[in-house]
Amino acid sequence: MAPPRNRRPGFSRRAQYGRFIGYVGAAGGALFGAVLLLLSTFNPPAFAAVRSVFSEITTPVASGFHWVRRSLSGIPDGIGSYFAVHGENARLKKQLAKDALTVSRAQTLEQENRRLRELVKLRDVTTDAIVAARLVNSSSSSTRRYATLNAGAWQGVKRGQPVRDPSGLIGQVIETSPNSARVLLLVDPESIVPVRRVRDGLPAIVSGRGDGLLDIRSASVSTMGFRVGDVFVTSGTGGVFSPNIVVGRVIRTQGDIAVAQPAANPDGLDFALVQQTFLPEPTPTPAPSPSPTAQPRATP
């Protein structure tokens, strides 16, 4: 036979003990409350002492519950503060990156303006300047080294004219079109420039290596050693390059050959100055016209 669903507590010892303990607790609490009431009425000092004891006991517990409640209530604010700080941090990082880009652009513009001022100053003191033009590109990934100027025949640029900037020689124009010109750079293996050493006037020949450096060989019969730090300038020999344009500085020696660093690095330049050749091209002599020969008169 199945047991009834609603069983009275009397059938369970656990329920009976629980109810008994409840009754005892209620009676004890009521008795304790009555004692405290009587004590507060008839003996207030004793009640104050009891109250102090209970306050000392309950204060740490209340403080712990208050800390827990405050910590739990601060969790939403902490989460909100974290996301707010994270967003502010991201915004500040973005602003710093933007400011760094602005500073970099300003530095680039300042360097370009400085080079332009130097180029304008050079153009003002140079009597053979043709035009100041921008180097729009230069080949740096192969052994052949060329550059392109955004000025050509319409601006007076001609084949063979030197190209330089305030720091030194860059190269020579080899091709022209109406609004552009091709420049053979000084560091190209096909480039050959007569130079002289500044400290003693030693004549030499500079040729490109194709790797951004120059080879310098003595042009005199006597073999004179090169030294690191020797500076070479154009000599004017050949009539193409004006004298005293800085070409390069020796950085190491290899026997009777010196390896030099060019004074002007075309990969880092924006503008260049095209000059006339040192010696003007000779004017072609007109061919003499044949003298008319006397025709014999016809006899009647």
Q: Which of 141, 128, 146, 90 is nearest to 274 (CA)?
A: 128
- The mean pLDDT value of the chain amounts to 77
Sign of CA dihedral 20, 23, 26, 27: negative
pLDDT in tens, 127-160: 678 888 888 877 766 668 888 998 999 999 999 9
Contact 33, 50 (CB under 8 A): no
- Residue 119, pLDDT score: 58
Residue 233, helix vs strand vs coil = strand
E-strand ranges in 219-256 read 231-234, 246-254
Domain 129-275 has CATH 2.40.10.340: yes
| C-beta of residue 230 within 8 angstroms of C-beta of residue 199 | yes
Q: At what angle do helices 13-42 and 44-125 cross, to 10 degrees?
A: 100
Cα separation of the two ends of the chain: 176
225-234 tens-digit pLDDT: 888 999 999 9
- Label residue 13 by pLDDT band (50, 70, 90): confident
CA atoms within 13 A on the CB side of 11: 6
Query: What does the alpha-carbon distance between residue 130 and residue 10 come to, in Å, rounded to a whole number?
Result: 121
Q: Is 205 exposed, middle or buried (0-12, 13-18, 19+ CB in 10 A)?
A: middle
